[in-house]
Chain A
């Protein structure tokens, strides 16, 4: 890969003054590849967390539920009363009472298909859909329900929505932090590799300085080499990471968070930013190391 890149970007005369160094070259490329591989996963995690946060927030914020727990002979009357109240409540677009089958379906994942729903004192559930323009006033609705349907309890999903959205937000934050840490570790490793190469080439630096080479000329030779190595390594790591993400089990709406850990649509373009960013990290890390060694050493 590096040879291919070197052919693509012909070596300047300056670059030839730096002798090829096998160990640091391998170290830099391997580090960049490993970090890019991890960066792909951190990116996927961050994007997936973002999607989950949006989905949860969006789905939960546009709806509410009313639960009616009343003696069996009053359930129908209170249900009808609640529906009537909702029809005249500003901000409510639609309301609908769950059928027994729907309630049973909700419980099925926990109790199995043979649940004798009829024998259980299950509350009646009423689903509320808000209008697109705004939300209803939950406190006003609660007051009306208390007066006209004492067994009805409004759940506006706030207590669910907040921790879920917070959890997803923190996952997204962790993904971002991981990316930053990966970038930092990559910069540190490339700096160490560049410093090792610069130290190993003390005689080269000395000769170049003595014949009149300026620091930026010497630094450029090292910087170009390490930038290309970081780019090549990161490209390989990114490719492997993207392939690994692509072969994960297919995501689906019901698939949950883990199977949703992938890229959707234009998200697949995000990993393409990793190699150039790695090259940028390599560029600055090597440049800084080179100038420091030159300044301190001779």
Chain B
């Protein structure tokens, strides 16, 4: 009896030691990834450099930042949790209309608090729809999310006396930022504003994906059955991350309305959902910076090509996508990673 008892105790000790080790390893891994590495500063340096190099192009620059944020929110659910949706524009649109209607109908024209309101409303709708829809996967989920976005658009059109319909909410005026900086024609104020908001959102997202919660999401993406088996509350986690992503998409939409001082129902378009997805895949999913690279590459190329040939630029974009799939399987970022790996091997 005694002997077996002590053996059992030893075993328990062993197990707890094992566990401790595993826990330390996991914590170390998370912390290691959590530390900033110097290449991560690059996109921010580029964004600030762009401000000084192309002072006349900041209206376009702000739009790029907005799309980056939108793509980032999609990365959180598509790249990390593996939720494929074609209705992400719904949340972008809800955010856009929260500040739009707030300014037009309620006189709520303070921009920063508008962002918070947009985030809360979008996240709430994300929570409600996510609760129902995230039980489904694959094509079913794709069509359900898509239908949700379009039904929101149709509702807006039914009540166009209130929403402004496809002619939109014109002449929105927002208060100067922080009471100090007013909107200027060159879009300088809003570029810096959008960049600051993007930075805050980005570090929030980064924190999430390198947290244990983020690891659980990756687990769900990789093998949902196993996550169920180890007792992970899969549905709850998916709904949580879906709501967060919806909130961020809402902030992007709110910025979109504020930078344009205008919004129409077309923000709910299928095109908008599809485009952001294409940008993200192009940049590389599940890697945070893929959103930056994808949105920037896509939009800059589109801008250049459409100047070169306003009629046929789509051919160039199409070709880029096809080539990306054939030669850069993990997005443009993947291409860089491969190059980095190659260099490392080359040196050693």
Partners in one complex: no
Interface residues of A (CB under 8 A from B): none
